[in-house]
């Protein structure tokens, strides 16, 4: 599905990603964990195509294509989706209108017919049920006046409507209480499929009790310093990140 090789990226002149390697097969769910500031969101933003981040080295191939050459909207049309850690508010544009426009752009790029407002309403209703979002949110301006949890759920709703091939969830669990966390996780689990891969970025192991990953990676100072199965997440939960940092320091010293 996606292969990231030796990815380096700068923000405002500071190197944040310092050689990320990650390969994800079809239908796999990979968790990316790591302490705050280790570069998880940067990785997500770079994959989504945020031009504020400058890629200085490395390559990303997605479905056999060079992802880094594409503008953000083309990546989205090809099937890349990122659920933002901090979703922005869009004044005056309703959730339904926004999503319908996005979905239709993606459909058009695949030579599919656009959905009209009625067809889209039906689809939206179905997806809102899936992620347990109150139908009244359809006509509210995107994310405006939403609570933190509602914004996160709204991101998952967008994923459900746009049906990406690769979903990158950037801390979709942060700030959620346990009920909201379950709803988000349920929504995500229902979207798991052999054709859809996911990168689940999280700071805590908690989410991974609900979204059980196939692989777990630890990002530290812009590199993946440890990879393993789902039990790695439990180990991190029990022992914290310090031992990883020490191992990484030893590893770097031995290089």
Ligand X SMILES: Nc1ncnc2c1ncn2[C@@H]1O[C@H](COP(=O)(O)OP(=O)(O)O)[C@@H](O)[C@H]1O
Q: Is the dihedral of CA 146, 181, 176, 224 positive or negative?
A: negative
Q: How many residues bind ligand X (CB under 6 A)?
A: 12
Instruction: Give the Cα separation of 236 and 219 in Å (integer).
Output: 12
For residue 45, state whether it binds Mg ion (rule: CB under 5 A).
no
Task: Please give the residues from 84 up to 103 whose contact with Mg ion meets the rule CB under 5 A.
Answer: 85
Min separation Cβ 170 and ligand X, Å = 7
Q: Which is nearer to other proteins, 100 or 202 (CB)?
A: 100
Among 7, 8, 41, 83, binds Mg ion (CB under 5 A): 41
Please give the DSSP secondary-structure letter assigned to residue 144.
T
Which residue has 């509602």 as its token pair? 150
Among 9, 16, 96, 180, binds ligand X (CB under 6 A): 16
Task: Please give the residues from 23 up to 52 whose contact with ligand X meets the rule CB under 6 A.
Answer: 34, 36-42, 52
Instruction: Give the Cα separation of 181 and 161 in Å (integer).
Output: 20
Give the phi and the psi of residue 77 in degrees, each rounded to 5.
-65, -30
Check: CB of residue 80 under 8 Å from CB of residue 43. Answer: no
Min separation Cβ 52 and other proteins, Å = 7
Q: Which is nearer to ligand X, 18 or 165 (CB)?
A: 18
Give the pairing of strands 65-66 and 197-201.
unpaired
Residue 219, classed as helix, strand or coil, is strand
For residue 84, state whether it binds other proteins (rule: CB under 8 A).
yes
Contact residues toward other proteins (CB under 8 A) are: 48-52, 71-73, 75-77, 81-82, 84, 87-88, 90-93, 97-99, 101-103, 105-106, 109, 141, 158, 162
């Amino acid at each position: 599905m996606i292969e990231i090789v030796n990815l380096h990226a700068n923000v405002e002149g500071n190197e944040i990603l310092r050689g990320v390697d990650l390969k994800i097969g079809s239908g796999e769910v990979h968790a990316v964990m790591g302490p705050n500031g280790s570069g998880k969101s940067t990785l997500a933003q770079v994959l989504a195509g945020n031009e504020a981040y400058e890629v200085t080295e490395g390559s990303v191939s997605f479905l056999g294509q060079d992802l880094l050459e594409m503008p953000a909207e083309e990546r989205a049309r090809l099937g890349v989706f990122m659920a933002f850690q901090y979703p922005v508010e869009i004044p005056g544009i309703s959730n339904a209108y926004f999503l319908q426009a996005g979905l239709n752009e993606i459909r058009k790029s695949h030579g599919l017919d656009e959905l009209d407002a009625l067809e889209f309403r039906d689809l939206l209703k179905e997806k809102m049920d899936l992620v347990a979002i109150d139908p009244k949110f359809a006509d509210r301006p995107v994310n405006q006046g939403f609570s933190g949890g509602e914004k996160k759920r709204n991101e998952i709703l967008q994923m459900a409507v746009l049906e990406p091939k690769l979903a990158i969830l950037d801390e979709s669990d942060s700030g959620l209480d346990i009920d909201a966390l379950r709803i988000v996780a349920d929504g995500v689990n229902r979207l798991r499929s052999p054709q859809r891969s996911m990168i689940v970025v999280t700071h805590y192991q908690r989410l991974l009790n609900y979204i059980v990953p196939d692989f777990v990676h630890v990002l530290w100072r812009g590199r993946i310093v440890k990879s393993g199965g789902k039990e790695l997440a439990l180990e991190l939960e029990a022992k914290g990140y310090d031992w990883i940092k020490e191992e990484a320091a030893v590893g770097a010293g031995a290089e």
